[in-house]
A and B are shown apart, each in its own frame.
Chain A
Amino acid sequence: MKERFQDLLPKLVLGPSFLLILFFVYGFIAYTGYLSLSDSKMLPSYGFVGMDNYERLWKLRHWSGALKNLAVFGSLYIIICSVLGLTLAILLDQKIRAEGVLRPIYLYPMALSFIVTGTAWKWFLDPGIGLEHTMHQWGWESFEFDWIKSRTNAIYTVVIAAVWQSSGFVMAMFLAGLRGVDSDIIRAAEIDGASRARIYRRIIIPLMRPVFLSAFVVLAHLAIKSYDLVIALTGGGPGKATELPATFMYSYTFSRNLMGIGASSAIIMLIMIFSIIVPYLYTELRSDSKR
């Protein structure tokens, strides 16, 4: 009897966590999925309306603007973070004495809340008081930097702040990747007479393909989830210039009381993230079990 209990024990221990996740994650996804097909407005309601919400969603300029912004923000964010991260990692990999000081400096923004980051950059980029103001004080009267107030350029300020926060993290990923390359391979290339630059271009960077993939997945999923930073930095404005799907969902659901549309936008976000994450996790787990 006691042994039976011992056999069951592992499942009894894992069970509650698993049920919590099944219910609060997958159950909730299903619920939101259903709401997206319902006539919910201010409160959940269960009148089935089919794909109405989705049709209305795709007709909304607000939504297509949010998607466009996400495309601009996401691609710039991923590209700049990767390029900057890789560059910094390679530079730091040159037997830099001060690495122990520099690396934590590059990385610390990752420990901050996006709200703090947003507060800092909002002020820094404010033409009336921040960088532009300071430049004028210093005597550079013609200096202009008012993107944060501009409908066309505000989205780039979100990129600037987001890159500031995450690029150090990408640097750390790449640095770990660089350090993980078998040093014998590099020595072999040196004996073959390859220059530093060529060793990086032909040997090290190609070997880091998995790191690029990981960085892409992490950054893409962060970009799609981006919410706090926009709220703190621009509040989605000016106008709707920096609305993203995440802020769209929140305002439609809780401010505009169009819950059905809010739910359908959340489902679209989920589909976007899963279409990146699921194949990635699938291959990672498979190679894991092979090892």
Chain B
Amino acid sequence: MNSASKLSFGRIALYLVLFVFAIYYLLPLYVMLVNSFKPLDEIRQGDMLALPQAWTIAPWASAWSTAQIGVQATGLKPYFMNSISMVVPAVLLSTLLGALNGYVLTKWRFKGDGIVFGLILLSCFIPFQIVLIPMARMLGILGLAGTTSGLVLVHLVYGLGFTTLFFRNYYAAFPTELIRAAQMDGAGFFRIFTRILLPSSGPIIVVTVIWQFTNIWNDFLFGASFADVDSVPMTVALNNLVSSSTGVKEYNVHFAGAILAALPTLIVYVVSGRYFVRGLMAGAVKG
């Protein structure tokens, strides 16, 4: 073991390989970033890796507030707001329900709870294409077609499986004796939840909120299928911006827009990457 930590040819090669991979992962982000600060003609002529010769924030301003998206020249700003007003209630509701479900499934077990959990868990993995047609009709029937509330409902329903899974696995490791002690102290269903479990649930709440936030923010399919002018989320707007076939392709604006769309989840990742990874693992490794 000791010899491994000495600097040797092998060690240097090892670091070199790891460094090259770091560049591979960082390059696209770097390219987007530097080119979002270049004027358009500089992108067309120059090489994509070079720093801007004439720095400009015009592409950012344009992406945010004036770029043509669909038929309107509103920039991404209203869509950013659409995403926010969709993500916040969807994340909060699905997390709260997931916590309650996990609590019931681990601490108030009943006959058939395994099947209930199995069905909830399986719902995490369905290809969403299977629900697109009936969901479109259902949103119409409920009068939620094309609304942000409709998208909140969609994300709530299809996020419940994961949030339930996270909390179930977390609460499964929570000592049942604590529940019994609290029962003996006369605490009922909700008091045990709010006084005993919730105060100890900090980490899993963070994991779940981050997971849900990332997934819902990044969703494209539901947004593209069910959103209308007033509810189009950021990802769909970005795609419209980038793939609009009319006029000159303003790459620098596209990059600024892409970074704007990525920013919230990137910030969450930088601030609490540890929890983000834990969520990925919990969603993947444990059934």
Q: Direct contact between A and B in the complex (CB less than 8 angstroms)?
A: yes
- Say if the beta carbon of A238 comes within 8 Å of chain B: no
Asked whether any CB of chain B lies closer than 8 Å to the CB of A65, the reply is no
Contact (Cβ within 8 A) A138 B47: yes
Segment at the interface with B among A47-55, A75-83, A120-128, A150-158? A120-128
In the assembled complex, which residues on chain A have CB atoms less than 8 Å from the CB atom of B225? 250, 254
Residues from chain A with Cβ under 8 Å of B118 in the complex: 281, 285
Per-residue 0/1 for B12-46: is the Cβ within 8 Å of any A Cβ (1 yes, 0 no)?
Answer: 00110110011011111101100000000001101
Question: Chain B residues with Cβ under 8 A from A73's Cβ?
Answer: none
Q: Once bound together, how far apart are the Cα atoms of A13 and B107, in whole Å?
A: 13
Interchain CA distance A218-B124 in the complex, whole Å: 12
Query: If A11-B110, A17-B97, A172-B281 touch, does A24 touch B135 (CB 8 Å cutoff)?
Result: yes
**Interchain CB contact under 8 A, B131 and A29:** yes
Do A108 and B266 touch (CB < 8 A)? yes
B164 adjacent to A17 (CB under 8 Å): yes
Q: Is the CB of A227 within 8 A of B22?
A: no
Q: In the complex, what residue of chain A is closest to B108 when comparing beta carbons?
A: A10
A108 to B268 CA separation, bound complex (whole angstroms): 11
Question: How far, in whole Å, are A249 and B224 apart by their CA atoms in the complex?
Answer: 14
Assess whether A14 is in contact with B14, with CB atoms less than 8 Å apart: no
Main secondary structure of the interface of B (DSSP, over half): helix
Closest Cβ–Cβ distance, residue B24 to chain A (whole Å):
7
CA distance A168 to B281 in the complex (A): 12
Flag whether B74 is at the interface (Cβ < 8 A).
no
Output the nearest chain B residue to A138 by Cβ-Cβ distance. B47
CB-CB contacts of A127-141 with B at 8 A, as 1s and 0s? Answer: 001110110011000
Quick one: CB contact mask for B159-178 with A, threshold 8 Å, 1 for yes? 01100100000000000000
Contact A231 B239 (CB under 8 A): yes
Question: Is there an interface contact between A113 and B123, defined as CB atoms closer than 8 Å?
Answer: no
Q: Is the CB of A88 within 8 A of B21?
A: yes
* Contact residues of B between 100 and 155, Cβ < 8 Å to A: 100-101, 103-105, 108, 110, 114, 116-123, 125-135, 137-138
User: In the complex the two chains form, what is the Cα distance from A246 to B287 in whole Å?
Assistant: 25
Complex Cα gap A129–B32 (Å): 13
Chain A proximity of B144: nearest CB distance (Å): 13
Instruction: Say if the beta carbon of A56 comes within 8 Å of chain B.
Output: no
Give per-residue flags for A75-106: 1 if the beta carbon is below 8 A from chain B beta carbons, else 0: 00000000000001001101110100010111
Q: Are A25 and B131 in contact (CB under 8 A)?
A: yes
Q: How far is the CB of A18 from chain B (nearest CB, A)?
A: 6
Q: Tell me whether B164 and A31 are in contact (CB under 8 A).
A: no
Contact B123 A14 (CB under 8 A): no
Question: Does A189 interact with chain B (Cβ within 8 Å)?
Answer: no
CB distance from A255 to the nearest CB of B (A): 12
A259 touches B281 (CB 8 A): no
Known: A29-B126, A110-B280, A285-B114. A92 touches B18 (CB 8 A): yes
List of A residues within 8 angstroms of B258 by Cβ: 115-116, 119-120
Is A146 part of the contact surface with B, judged by Cβ < 8 Å? Answer: no
10 closest A-B pairs by beta carbon, nearest first, are A284-B287, A10-B108, A113-B218, A111-B269, A228-B220, A120-B28, A28-B134, A25-B123, A266-B129, A134-B47
- Where the two chains meet, the residues of B that have a C-beta atom closer than 8 Å to any C-beta of A are 1, 4-5, 14-15, 17-18, 21-22, 24-29, 31-32, 43-44, 46-49, 97, 100-101, 103-105, 108, 110, 114, 116-123, 125-135, 137-138, 156-158, 160-161, 164, 188-190, 214, 217-218, 220-221, 224-225, 235-236, 238-239, 242-243, 251, 254-255, 257-259, 261-262, 265-266, 268-270, 273, 276-277, 280-281, 284-287
**A-B contacts, 20 listed (Cβ < 8 Å):** A9-B189, A17-B100, A17-B120, A18-B119, A21-B161, A24-B158, A25-B126, A29-B130, A105-B26, A107-B273, A112-B266, A113-B235, A115-B235, A129-B48, A137-B47, A249-B132, A266-B129, A269-B127, A284-B286, A289-B114
